[in-house]
Chains A and B, each alone.
Chain A
Amino acid sequence: SAVISQKPSRDICQRGTSLTIQCQVDSQVTMMFWYRQQPGQSLTLIATANQGSEATYESGFVIDKFPISRPNLTFSTLTVSNMSPEDSSIYLCSVELGGLAGSRSYNEQFFGPGTRLTVL
């Protein structure tokens, strides 16, 4: 398993400002993921961040709005830029770890506690 921490746990921000969310993992991982969970909704993948390469963004999400850094194998940041009230959401980071079930390998995602963002 993996222990994942996020900072800040919550924040209230003004429209037009930016917030950087940090994600720290207690082990080295190749792939880290950033999700958005809007109130009462499911998780939507924003982007996948691999160390040493540019993040891969999902449809509807762009780097200018959600720049991501991945400086090493245990850390990543997601910035929510030029915020509007529609960006109010919970932002979750997750990591994927592999394991073995018999002779078969599998991958499993572990999630951080999330950052609750409110934009006024």
Chain B
Amino acid sequence: AQTVTQSQPEMSVQEAETVTLSCTYDTSESDYYLFWYKQPPSRQMILVIRQEAYKQQNATENRFSVNFQKAAKSFSLKISDSQLGDAAMYFCASSGTYKYIFGTGTRLKVLA
């Protein structure tokens, strides 16, 4: 069975600072993907970043990067130079064959 765990219900970060959101997962699949999704108050889910499990190199998208530790089944998201627009719920997700499993989310507050 697949599980995704986000242990931080809420995080705060000062504008322009860096914050890391944690995620651990468990899967029996050998080929899978990991994702971070952002859900602003408008509730449209937006893909932030994707990591292929077979890749050792951590994915990066502008100010967003991941620390993927396959052996530890850890997949954290780092947001650099935080902006007010980064305030949202962030969901970690894993996908195997076709089903996506989502974590419970981390609410990120950005303080001006």
Binding site for B on A (CB under 8 A): 31, 33, 41-43, 45, 48, 90, 92, 94, 96, 101, 104, 106-114, 116
Known: A33-B100, A43-B91, A114-B44; 15 extra A-B contacts, CB below 8 A, are A41-B104, A42-B91, A42-B104, A42-B105, A90-B43, A92-B45, A94-B45, A106-B50, A106-B52, A108-B35, A108-B50, A109-B95, A111-B44, A111-B45, A114-B43
Name the 10 nearest CB pairs between A and B, nearest first: A111-B45, A43-B102, A42-B102, A42-B104, A114-B43, A113-B44, A42-B105, A109-B100, A106-B33, A42-B103
Name 11 A/B residue pairs within 8 A (Cβ), A-sorted: A31-B98, A41-B104, A42-B105, A48-B99, A96-B98, A104-B54, A107-B95, A107-B98, A110-B47, A111-B46, A114-B43
What is the chain A residue whose CB lies nearest that of B101? A45
Binding site for A on B (CB under 8 A): 33, 35, 37, 42-47, 50, 52, 54, 91, 95, 98-100, 102-105
| Chain B positions within 8 Å of A114 at CB level | 43-44
| Chain B positions within 8 Å of A33 at CB level | 100
A116 to B99, CA, bound (A): 23
Nearest-neighbour CB distance to chain A for B40, whole angstroms, equals 11
- Between B42, B44, B50, B91, the greatest number of chain A beta carbons within 10 A of the residue's beta carbon is seen for B44
Which among B47, B52, B95, B98 is the interface contact of A48 at CB below 8 angstroms?
B98
- Between A31, A43, A110, the greatest number of chain B beta carbons within 10 A of the residue's beta carbon is seen for A43
| Chain B positions within 8 Å of A101 at CB level | 52
Nearest-neighbour CB distance to chain A for B102, whole angstroms, equals 5
A91 to B43, CA, bound (A): 11
A107 to B91, CA, bound (A): 17
